[in-house]
Amino acid sequence: MNKPERIVTDEVLYDVKDHIATITLNAPDRMNTISGPMLGALTQYLLEADSDPDVRCVILTGTGRAFCAGLDLRAQTSGKGLSISGSGAVATDIDLRNTPPTVLHAMNKPTICAVNGGAAGYGADTAIGCDIRIMAQSSKLALSFAKRGILPESGGTWLLPRLLGWSKAAEIIFTGRTLSPEQCVEIGLASEVVADAELMPRARALAAEIAANAPLAVQAAKRMMRMGLNEPFPEHVHHVYLQLLPLMRTEDSKEGMLAFVEKRTPQFMGK
C-alpha cells in the first residue's frame, strides 16, 4: 500500500526537542483559522508524534494573538476551502478517522494545549480535545456554535458533558458562551492561567515533568483513562491489570523500582 503523500506547509510547524513535540498553528494573519492543508498537516504531525518513540509528550499551540479562531470560513464561502465531498454535494459516508479530533482522541502520547489566545469553534473543540489545557491571561474559549447556527462538530458534545457534567456543559453549549481563562479554571476546563510571556515556558516545564516519567507507563495510563470513560468498573479493573502485567516486565519498571530503593532519579528509556 502506498503511503499518503506528505503535506508540506509553513502554516503548521513541527519540532521535537528533549522528548517533547511542539506543534504550532502558524497562520497568524487570519488568527490561525484552519484551512484544508492545515487540517492535513495537523493530522500528519499528531500521528508522527504518536508513533515516534523519542516523543513522550506533545504541546499544541499557535502563533499570534489567537490559538485558532475556527475553520477558514472565508475559503469555504469562496469555494476554495474545506468541503465534505469533491462535488459540493452533502456526503453520507464521511470518513473522519484521519482527522484531527479523532486522531487527537486516539493518541497514546499525553497532549498539552498551550492556549495562547482566542480559541473559537473548531479551535475550542481542538483545545478541549487535548489532555491538559494551560491558558494565557489574554486567551479565551468561545463555544459560540449555537450563535452561528451549528453545533460543536469536533468533539465538544462528547467531551464537555464528561469534563463538566451535563448541566454545566448544557449551559455553555446552549448559550454559546465565551469563557475567560479564570472561568475555565474555575469549572475544571483548564489547569491554570499564566501570564502571556510565561505560557510556553510553563507548558514546556509541565511537558518535561511528564516526559521524565516512564513513557510506556504514562501511555498505558492514558489508554486506561480513555477506556474507563465507557466501561463499568469491574471490567475496567480487569483491563488495567492486563496492562500492568507487561509493564512490570519492562526495563523501565525495573529501573523505577531500583531508583526508588537507591534513592535516586530514575532514567527511563521507554523499554
Domain over 215-262 is classified CATH 1.25.40:
no
Asked whether the predicted pLDDT for residue 243 surpasses 60, the reply is yes
| CB-CB contact of 37 with 75 (8 Å) | no
Read off the pLDDT of residues 176-223 as tens digits, 9 standing for 90 and up: 999 999 999 999 999 999 999 999 999 999 999 999 999 999 999 999
- DSSP label of 258: H
pLDDT of 4: 55
pLDDT mean across residues, the chain: 88
Q: Please, are residues 245 and 220 in contact by the beta-carbon 8 Å criterion?
A: no
At 23-68, the pLDDT tens digits run 999 999 999 999 889 999 999 999 999 999 999 999 999 999 999 9
Range(s) of the chain covered by CATH 1.10.12: 215-262
Residues of each domain in the chain carrying CATH 3.90.226.10: 12-211
pLDDT of residue 127: 95
The grid cell for 117 is 489566545
Strand ranges inside 63-144, DSSP E: 66-68, 111-115, 118-120, 132-136, 140-142
pLDDT(95) > 80: no
Taking the domain 12-211, which CATH number applies? 3.90.226.10
- How confident is the model over 218-247, as a mean pLDDT? 91
**For residue 144, is pLDDT > 50?**
yes
* Three cell numbers, residue 8: 508540506
Q: How confident is the model at residue 75 (pLDDT cuts 50, 70, 90)?
A: low
pLDDT at 8: 74
